[in-house]
């Protein structure tokens, strides 16, 4: 392995690590505390599927 190959490997590894850190920080700042509530009636209305009582036998 030549010196330029080692340098390229180091630069690529550094770039990947920096990107991972940036993505982690962005997730931590903007997405971590986001919550999505799911309502079965709203979902069934959107997809046109009739809702049934939970646990009811068919």
Identify which of 53, 29, 25 has the alpha carbon closest to the alpha carbon of residue 41.
53
Domain membership flag for residue 53: no
Number of domains making up the chain: 1
Domain membership flag for residue 54: no
CA dist 5 and 31 (Å) reads: 38
**pLDDT 10s digits, 7-46:** 999 999 999 999 999 999 999 999 988 888 888 888 888 8
Higher pLDDT, 54 or 34: 34
CA dist 26 and 56 (Å) reads: 44
Where residue 56 falls among pLDDT bands split at 50, 70, 90? low
Which pLDDT score, from 0 to 100, does residue 33 have? 87
Q: Cβ contacts of residue 51 below 8 Å, gap of 6+?
A: 40, 41, 44
Name the pTM for this structure: 0.57
Domain residues for the domain of 17 are 1-31
């Amino acid at each position: 392995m030549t010196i330029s190959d080692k340098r390229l490997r180091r630069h690529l590894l550094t770039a990947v690590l920096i990107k991972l850190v940036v993505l982690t920080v962005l997730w931590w700042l903007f997405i971590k505390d986001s919550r999505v509530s799911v309502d079965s009636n709203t979902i069934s209305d959107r997809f046109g599927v009739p809702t049934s009582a939970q646990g009811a036998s068919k």
